[in-house]
Amino acid sequence: GAVWIQNRHDIEQGIAYASRSLSKAELNYSATKMQCLAVLLVVTKFRPYLCGKQFKVVTGHHALCWLVNLKDPSGRLAPLSLRLHEFDVTIVYKSGQKHTDADCLSRAPVDSAPPCDDDNDAFLGPNSFDTFAQDQRGQKHTDADCLSRAPVDSAPPCDDDNDAFLGPISFDTFAQDQRADPDLRGVIEYIEGNTDSPLKVFRRAL
């Protein structure tokens, strides 16, 4: 089980929750390997939101804290260690007694989920450690490729230079256009008329 938590204004808020049952093969894993599998599945599931961000993985298994520091990973835990190197992640230990939010998801009984054909939802299905490592070795980065193959309708020709997204625009012109906008003009005047920081003013306005 896993809980994605963000700290906002010194208050921890749950953003997303995830869990799945173990396959028969995974039930034979050691405690450390089970914890590794959980971390691997979670960071893969939330990868679009984690890449390029600093984040912490809080675990109740102290042995995981050294994973991101392995210089020459080998063995069955190597796939996880290598996978984590693409993230700016810190693994910290938290006593299981204080880690009950994720722990309760691990113990919650669940019904068998129907098979899923969408690879993006593979988190909910059985995925052994060895199978994941094989998938990663054979996987290619197809993000840009899928965009180039996506069917799109031809865009009509544009005669208005103002609609050319890639057209040149100066900073002064951009600032003038913002002040000309009826919605943005009110925000700009409100911020400029206050001595507090723009962030505090914006929060009060919300």
pLDDT tens-digit profile of 144-201?
A: 555 555 555 655 555 555 444 445 667 788 888 888 988 888 888 877 776 666 556 5
Same-domain status, 25 and 72: yes
Which pLDDT belongs to residue 122? 43
Which pLDDT belongs to residue 125? 43
Residue 117 lies in a domain: yes
Lowest-pLDDT range of 2-6, 31-35, 116-120? 116-120
Which pLDDT belongs to residue 153? 60
> Would you say residue 2 has pLDDT above 70?
yes
CA 30-127-112 angle, 5° bins = 100
Same-domain status, 34 and 100: yes
- 83, 90, 35: which is closest to 57 by C-alpha? 90
Which pLDDT belongs to residue 200? 62
Which pLDDT belongs to residue 85? 78
> Would you say residue 33 has pLDDT above 60?
yes
Same-domain status, 66 and 114: yes
Residue 84 lies in a domain: yes
pLDDT (tens digit per residue) in 77-134? 777 777 777 888 888 887 666 666 666 666 665 665 555 555 444 444 444 445 545 5
Residue 149 lies in a domain: no
Residue 70 lies in a domain: yes
State the first-to-last Cα distance of the chain, in angstroms, to the nearest integer. 34
Same-domain status, 91 and 170: no
Same-domain status, 105 and 194: no
Which pLDDT belongs to residue 116? 53
Same-domain status, 133 and 53: yes
Same-domain status, 86 and 175: no
| Count of domains forming the chain | 2
pLDDT (tens digit per residue) in 35-75? 888 888 888 888 888 888 888 888 877 777 777 666 666 67
What does the alpha-carbon distance between residue 87 and residue 43 come to, in Å, rounded to a whole number?
9
Residue 151 lies in a domain: no
Residue 102 lies in a domain: yes
pLDDT band at 28 (very low <50, low <70, confident <90, very high): confident
pLDDT (tens digit per residue) in 12-24? 778 887 777 778 8
Same-domain status, 136 and 172: no
Residue 46 lies in a domain: yes
What would the two tokens of residue 141 be? 């980065």
* Helices of type H across the chain: 31-45, 47-50, 78-84, 100-107, 129-138, 143-149, 171-180, 182-192, 198-205
| Residue span of the structural domain in which 89 resides | 2-140
Residue given tokens 């049952």 in the structure block: 21
What would the two tokens of residue 13 be? 């808020």
**61-96 core/surface letters (b: 16 or more CB in 10 A; e: else):** beebeebbeeeebeeebebbbebbeebebebeeeee
Same-domain status, 91 and 174: no
Residue 158 lies in a domain: no
Same-domain status, 72 and 121: yes
**Higher pLDDT among residues 202 and 28, named by residue:** 28
Ordered DSSP codes for 154-172: PPPP---GGG-TTS---HH
Same-domain status, 132 and 173: no
